[in-house]
Copies of this chain bind each other. A is one copy, B any other.
Amino acid sequence: MQTRPAKLLYIVDLAGTLLFAFEGASAGVQDELDILGLTVLAFSTAMGGGIIRDVLIGSVPPNALRDWRYSVMALCGAAALFFLHPFVGQMPATPIMILDAAGLALFVVSGTGKALQHELPPLNAILLGAITGVGGGTIRDVLLAKIPTVLWADVYATSALIGATTMVICRKLKLPPVPSAILGGSVCFALRVVGALRHWNLPWVH
């Protein structure tokens, strides 16, 4: 029983790595990077969040460097983009946004879960979960010299924070790890997708 949450976190982490690698590489297509540039971007986006999480938690070398499966996942994500990009280039932005939301949800779950395993206080487990979720995309945007999504996008960081909060509350209410993770991830994913589709805006400061 002890190892089940750890195994869940591991699968969630690998799935997030795959999705973010694809999504990261797709961001480079618009900026006319070559194949290796796209691969670098795929790796940065896919591994950035998890590496930040592991460094902050003191779990070094980070999983992404200790375990070769992360590199393989990131390579697969980048390769998928190379083969699919003629279709992606013509696809509307929505499917990419949905992939990104799924990656965000997976990393929020893995970050919050790992923070709880390391017994961080609830407020900081939420913060670490959100940092894990938005870290990879923020590195991607910084490398492309853009203002990162997390600062301006409709309910992006909000989704991460609310998803992580949901997961922490579930665990405090003694729900088992797996349903807590599914619930937290679903809330994060749903909020992000609905928020982006409906252009939910938070109040601005003028």
**Cross-chain contact B40 with A205 (CB below 8 angstroms):** no
**Interface pair B152/A147, CB less than 8 Å apart:** no
**Cβ B68 vs Cβ A124 within 8 A:** yes
**Contact pick for A58, options B56, B60, B152, CB 8 Å:** B60
- Would A65 and B120 be within 8 Å (CB), given that A35-B202, A151-B41, A202-B34 are in contact? yes
Can you add 17 more A-B contacts, CB < 8 Å, to A55-B55, A58-B60, A67-B121? Answer: A32-B204, A35-B203, A40-B151, A40-B157, A41-B151, A57-B60, A57-B61, A58-B58, A66-B120, A66-B121, A67-B124, A68-B124, A138-B143, A142-B143, A142-B145, A143-B151, A144-B151
Instruction: Jot down 9 A-B pairs with beta carbons below 8 A, ordered by A.
Output: A32-B204, A37-B152, A65-B128, A67-B121, A67-B124, A72-B123, A138-B143, A143-B148, A144-B151
- Chain A positions within 8 Å of B, measured between CB atoms, are 28-29, 31-41, 43, 51, 55-58, 60-62, 65-68, 71-72, 81-82, 85, 115, 118, 120-121, 123-124, 127-128, 138, 142-148, 150-152, 155, 157-158, 201-205
